[in-house]
Amino acid sequence: MKKSAGYQPISVPEARLDELFEVVQWAFVGEWLLEDRQDYVDALPVERARALEVTDPSRGEVGEIAAVHASFGTEMITPGGRRVPTAGLSWLSVHPAHRRRGLMTAMMHDHFSRCKERGEAVSALYAMEAAIYSRFGYGMGAQTVKAEIPRGSAMWQVEGADDLTVRLVRADFDEHDELVSGLQAKLTRPGTVLNPVGSGRNARFTDPIGNRKGMEKWRLALVEDQGEPVAYAFFRRRADSSVGIHDGVCQVREFGALTPAASRKLWETLTDFDLVGTTYTENLATDDPLLYQLKDARGARSKVIDNLWVRVLDVKKALESREYFHDCDVVFDLHDKHVPENTGLWRIVVTDGNAVVTRAEGAKPDLTMGARHLSTVYLGGTSLEALTAAGLVQEHTAGQARELAVAMMSPVAPLANWDF
Ligand SMILES: CC(=O)SCCNC(=O)CCNC(=O)[C@H](O)C(C)(C)COP(=O)(O)OP(=O)(O)OC[C@H]1O[C@@H](n2cnc3c(N)ncnc32)[C@H](O)[C@@H]1OP(=O)(O)O
């Protein structure tokens, strides 16, 4: 008998959203406030909410929802500023009474096959626990710097920054969605997961009281160049004091800047609020301009953790939807347990930045790798040669791991600036 027998996949109708929310609260260990319900509805891509329902009484009450997930239908920026149709997987929850019965595995397969039907070549997610997703072919596609920046940290001058102006406003979906989405859509950093269309679109504006922990409601810093928006950041502050010294904090969530001067102006503002001693953020790329604009980067106490987990679902479409930075001709043997149609020999020929990817049955492979390794290097933040040096990718033709590594490495570090 299949491990996950006794459950059936369903789409969750709006009338059953509270059952979905109940499972999420059980799984994520939290009790939501009643007045926050609308925020959670607004943050959910309702038409893509899926669940597993009990069908066998030995598993639980027949008809009850045991596990849920949802995904945002969107596009992700790839190296070279191109785009690939992507599903942003989220809300993945298994009720603790039903865990370790293969329900997540069943939902992953449900997610993958529906993505393929919709033409989404890549799935991406933020992991609550980093050890879970490699087994399903996800690789750590981007890393982020978490930093705590002391108030008034000195920064290098950047030409034009002093000519820019800043507006500080309360974040409001109706008023600012178009402006923020428009700015985000102009970002070219690989890994940027664009704001989705449809329900869930206002997820970045939701602000449950239960999550505030004494912080303000979300505010927006908007940097403008003669009235034209050139940078944005969601932020909120909390006043605090110890031994009579004011040491409040400022949290910066999603942000984006179109120019070096806009970045300089944005961070100068965010790190100099009265009564705020520290500004912290989790969404800095490992090469974010701020890290070079600060005169003392070490002073921004930081650590690097995983940001976006990426899963290539359609090898040809995904690989042909990005730019490359070196010509090469490489055959690789791919193993993919969870999307078996990807398994086999592939040839990638890169000319002038563009790849042509074809099946190569019968050819002699230069490299052998798993789906998670291809997914790890997809956004260009990790070198294929590093995975070869680690013994994870096997090289059969000397030098071919380097050829493909140089072609795939992105000159700009990947990052998803929006935590979905
Ligand atoms: C993208 C997002 O939404 S991130 C949020 C993910 N959700 C959470 O963290 C909420 C709390 N946790 C849960 O809801 C569940 O425990 C889940 C979703 C993590 C796992 O669900 P389950 O139905 O128990 O997983 P399932 O039985 O399919 O296990 C699949 C495999 O993953 C492993 N696994 C499951 N959970 C974990 C974990 N927390 N850490 C490491 N391995 C894990 C299992 O051991 C199993 O391994 P195997 O294939 O080698 O046998």
Q: What is the average per-residue pLDDT within 26-55?
A: 95
pLDDT 10s digits, 155-182: 999 999 999 999 999 999 999 999 999 9
What one-letter code names the amino acid at 382? T
Look at residue 246 in the predicted model and tell me its pLDDT.
84
ipTM, two decimals, is 0.96
Cα dihedral: 10, 202, 79, 142 (round 10): -80
Q: Who contacts 102 (Cβ-Cβ below 8 Å, separation ≥6)?
A: 2, 3, 4
pLDDT 10s digits, 231-289: 999 999 999 888 888 889 999 999 999 999 999 999 999 999 999 999 999 889 999 99
Q: How far is the CA of 66 from the centre of ligand 1 (A)?
A: 14
- Atom of ligand 1 minimally distant from the CA of 309: 1
- Atom of ligand 1 minimally distant from the CA of 92: 3
Pocket residue to mutate for ligand 1, from 3, 72, 94, most atoms within 8 A of Cβ: 94
Q: Which CATH superfamily is domain 314-408 in?
A: SCP2 sterol-binding domain (3.30.1050.10)
Q: 145-171+207-307 and 314-408: same fold? A: no
71 lines ligand 1 (CB under 6 A): no
What one-letter code names the amino acid at 346? W
Tell me what the pLDDT averaged over the chain comes to. Answer: 96
pLDDT 10s digits, 327-377: 999 999 999 999 999 999 999 999 999 999 999 999 999 999 999 999 999
Q: Is 292 a catalytic residue?
A: no
Cα angle 390-286-130, degrees, rounded to a multiple of 5: 55
Look at residue 341 in the predicted model and tell me its pLDDT.
97
CATH class of the region 145-171+207-307: alpha beta
**Of 7, 133, 136, 232, which is the active-site residue?**
133
On the question of pLDDT at 116 being above 80, the answer is: yes
- Write phi, then psi, for 70 (nearest 5 degrees): -150, 165
104 lines ligand 1 (CB under 6 A): yes
28 lines ligand 1 (CB under 6 A): yes
- Atom of ligand 1 minimally distant from the CA of 133: 32
- Hey, what are 400's tokens? 């071919």
Best CA proximity match to 153, nearest among 268, 48, 244, 280: 268
Best CA proximity match to 151, nearest among 281, 284, 290, 249: 249
| Domain boundaries defined on the chain | 7-140, 145-171+207-307, 314-408
Look at residue 245 in the predicted model and tell me its pLDDT.
81
**Of 21, 72, 205, 420, which is the active-site residue?**
420
Instruction: Please give the annotated binding residues for acetyl-CoA, written as ranges.
Output: 100-105
What one-letter code names the amino acid at 284? L
303 lines ligand 1 (CB under 6 A): no
Q: What is the average per-residue pLDDT within 384-396?
A: 98
Q: What is the average per-residue pLDDT within 75-87?
A: 97
Q: In this structure, are residues 137 and 311 in contact, taking their beta carbons and an 8 Å threshold?
A: yes
Q: Who contacts 333 (Cβ-Cβ below 8 Å, separation ≥6)?
A: 344, 345, 346, 365, 367, 368, 369
Q: Is 280 a catalytic residue?
A: no
Place of tokens 């989405």: 181
Distance CA 108, CA 92 (A): 9
- Hey, what are 188's tokens? 């070219």
Look at residue 328 in the predicted model and tell me its pLDDT.
98
pLDDT 10s digits, 58-76: 999 999 999 999 999 999 9
pTM: 0.96
Could you tell me how many residues make up the chain? 420
Look at residue 199 in the predicted model and tell me its pLDDT.
74
99 lines ligand 1 (CB under 6 A): yes
Q: Who contacts 82 (Cβ-Cβ below 8 Å, separation ≥6)?
A: 321, 322, 323
Distance CA 345, CA 368 (A): 9
- Atom of ligand 1 minimally distant from the CA of 3: 27
Instruction: Write the CA distances from 234 to 188, 200, 253, 417, integer angstroms.
Output: 19, 17, 5, 11
Q: What is the average per-residue pLDDT within 209-224?
A: 96
Residue of higher predicted confidence among 131 and 67? 67
102 lines ligand 1 (CB under 6 A): yes
Q: Which CATH superfamily is domain 7-140 in?
A: Gcn5-related N-acetyltransferase (GNAT) (3.40.630.30)
Pocket residue to mutate for ligand 1, from 104, 134, 307, most atoms within 8 A of Cβ: 104
On the question of pLDDT at 39 being above 90, the answer is: yes
Helix (H) or strand (E) holding 39: helix 37-43
